[in-house]
Amino acid sequence: MTKKTVNVSAIIPCYRCSNTIARAVESIDQQSLRPVDVILVDDCSGDGTLNVLLALQERYPQGWIKVIALKKNSGPGEARNAGWEISTQPYVAFLDADDSWHPQKIEVQYCWMMKHPNVDITGHRCVELSVEHKYPVFRIDFFRTHNITKRSLLLGNQLSTRSVMLKREIPHRFQKGKYYAEDYLLWLEIVCTGLSAQKIDLPLAYLYKAPYGEGGLSSQLLKMELGELDTYLRLWRSNKLTSVTYLLLCGWSLLRFLRRFLIVSLRS
């Protein structure tokens, strides 16, 4: 039976993810309401990832998966931008190649945004999984959301990229050449220009490693911290932050970095 689709494009940046990308795509295929298409962007992996993406394209209905191959490695932000550029649907949702979605993720998030057309970007909670589990069933009309203000977002990134759905028409994009905290900078630019953001209080995405201290970008704590400080610097230079606010945020960021570093050190 053909599943009902909704006006969403799902975008996954792919870099040397041949062991996990099938799980991510399957979680999109298993959605109660499926996106119109899935855009897989190979960020010049240089291994067998592109072949795996092309094989996945053949496995699913024709036209559902689109594959883009970048000619040079440019980072996840530019890979997402490339997918965003060719997307045709009014809403775009992001997923990372080593994560997955709850089967009702699109249904819950898209239907909520349809009922609240004034909201430009939404996210939701994410949880870590280590083993296969039974998915809970959520009532799509019975959950809480909270407004993400400029102040609250400056104090910490509340929008994990794997959770984000936004309007395609938003003019902002991931900054070219920025590899760390590029998502945080984009969310802040969106909110700082007066667009509306909300967070859904349901765990609708899953990661399979700890947020800090294991493989992937999350293992590089110092580079992530420098990326966050660079985000605040860019906002200050563009007159979105006062000098006092900028300095306070840098101090707050460094304190949180030290806390994360201690947690990772104690775990290892």
Q: Mean of the per-residue pLDDT values for the chain?
A: 92
> Per-residue pLDDT tens for 148-197?
999 999 999 999 999 999 999 999 999 999 999 999 999 999 999 999 99
* 70 in the same domain as 13: yes
* 86 in the same domain as 161: yes
Question: Average pLDDT, stretch 120-127?
Answer: 96
Q: Which of 180, 208, 236 is the last residue of a domain?
A: 208
* 42 in the same domain as 77: yes
Place of tokens 């298409």: 37
**How many domains are contained in the chain?**
2
CA distance 28 to 205: 11
* 225 in the same domain as 181: no
Are 205 and 102 spatial neighbours (Cβ–Cβ below 8 Å)? yes
* 139 in the same domain as 9: yes
**Does the pLDDT value for residue 102 go beyond 80?**
yes
What's the pLDDT at 132?
A: 64
CA distance 165 to 200: 11
**Does the pLDDT value for residue 64 go beyond 70?**
yes
What's the pLDDT at 208?
A: 86
* 139 in the same domain as 227: no
Q: Which of 188, 208, 228 is the last residue of a domain?
A: 208
What's the pLDDT at 216?
A: 42
* 198 in the same domain as 173: yes
* 225 in the same domain as 135: no
What's the pLDDT at 166?
A: 98
* 171 in the same domain as 79: yes
What's the pLDDT at 140?
A: 75
* 164 in the same domain as 226: no
Chain-centroid distance of CA 140 in Å reads 21
Which CATH number goes with the domain that contains 192?
Answer: 3.90.550.10
Higher pLDDT, 1 or 97: 97
Owning domain of residue 11: 5-208
Place 219 in a pLDDT band, splitting at 50, 70 and 90.
low
> Per-residue pLDDT tens for 124-145?
999 988 666 777 788 777 899 9
* 242 in the same domain as 181: no
* 118 in the same domain as 40: yes
Q: What is the DSSP letter of 83?
A: H
